[in-house]
Amino acid sequence: MKEKAKQFAAKAHKGQKRKNSDVPYITHPIRVAERLEAAGFRDELVCAGYLHDVVEDTLVELEDIERGFGTEIAHIVAAHTEDKSKSWQERKQHTIDIIKTADPEIKYLVVADKLDNLLGLENDLKAQGESVWENFNAGREKQRWYNKSIASNMYVGLNNEDIPDYFQKFEKAVERVFK
């Protein structure tokens, strides 16, 4: 099922590029899924890692995910899909609210996604400088607020033994990027 999810996401994201580069977009969901798999999470969550942006950023609908991958994976993807009809601020506040109260698997997916985005941003800042902020819907200070809010709320409701090591990697990346 993981290979099916990977191929589905690759087809859905075909032709899309990562922000600030010519890198194919699919590299991002692949890294998210690989991080989830490396942390030892179950196949359904890894599949959701591959699929986490297809509803938000392509013509694929949640019903397509449910039909192809089942209700459980569709639920995880849905919980992490932003409503693009809302403002940037509303969408990000919704994610912050979700991270406080969500089931652990949703938290694991959100943080894996945000970590990969932040590591990419960090590399772009090193290579291209502060001009990268011009390609975002919100500038440095709003991005700082958003990422710090995720970092400060991601542990809510988790026991120490349930926290994957990449949560700390995210915290460190937030500090480096927004120092």
Distance CA 64, CA 159 (A): 34
Is 57 annotated in the active site?
A: yes
82 touches 146 (CB < 8 A) = no
Q: What DSSP character marks residue 24?
A: B
Is 22 marked active-site?
no
- Helix axis angle, 71-79 to 62-69, nearest 10°: 150
Query: Of these residues, 57, 64, 72, 82, which one is catalytic?
Result: 57
Whose CA is closest to 109, among 67, 65, 51, 70? 51
Q: Which of 68, 49, 71, 72 is nearest to 4 (CA)?
A: 68
Residues 130 and 137: beta-carbon distance below 8 Å: no
The active-site residue, picked from 43, 44, 53, 56, is 56
Q: Which residues contact 119 (CB under 8 A, 6 or more apart)?
A: 173
Catalytic residue IDs:
56-57
